[in-house]
Copies of this chain bind each other. A is one copy, B any other.
Amino acid sequence: MQKSREDRQAAAPDYHVDRQVGFFLRQANQRHVAIFANAIGDKLTTTQWSALSKLKEIQPCSQNQLGRETAMDVATIKGVVDRLVKRGFVATAPDRNDGRRVVLSLTEEGLAVIAANVGAALVATEGTLAPLTSGERMMFLELLQKIC
């Protein structure tokens, strides 16, 4: 059946950005970033924290690999690593087997700053999920993972 002119014209007025997933995803992320920044003591951003935490798990590794593991673009991870190196949390060294690679590893300060902020990171997670009950949290995390 062909749609009438009214039907097609009525489509636009019914659209509301503030009911779309994207609108909520952006805001939820914003809220989490704010909560994290507030909880963390050492001026670390969420991405910097991700890079540090992941690096601890998989070090030593190349810059691009760390980017892939933390879902960051090559240009993005470059900037993040640069700032972490500048602050003395991450050390770089040339790879003897591969002339292209830069091998990343945590410094003592890096390990220390992670240890000092794990608690705060967990508090941030808790704060972000605070509006949800225990059951809702499990359900939410499950569904959220599915759309990643």
Contacts and interface: CB of A to CB of B under 8 A. Distances in A.
Contacts of A141: 21, 24
Nearest to A20: B125
- Chain A: interface size category: 35 or more
A132 B71 CA distance: 22
A71 to B, nearest CB: 5
Given A28-B148, A125-B22, A17 B70 contact: yes
Contact of A118 (B12, B23, B24, B118): B12
A22 B125 CA distance: 7
Interface string A51-92: 001100100000000000111000000000000000000000
Contact of A17 (B18, B33, B54, B132): B54
A145 B22 CA distance: 11
Contacts of A128: 21-22, 25, 147
23 contacts: A12-B114, A12-B118, A15-B118, A15-B122, A17-B54, A18-B54, A21-B32, A21-B125, A21-B141, A21-B144, A22-B36, A22-B124, A25-B144, A28-B144, A28-B148, A32-B147, A128-B147, A132-B143, A140-B140, A140-B144, A140-B147, A143-B143, A144-B144
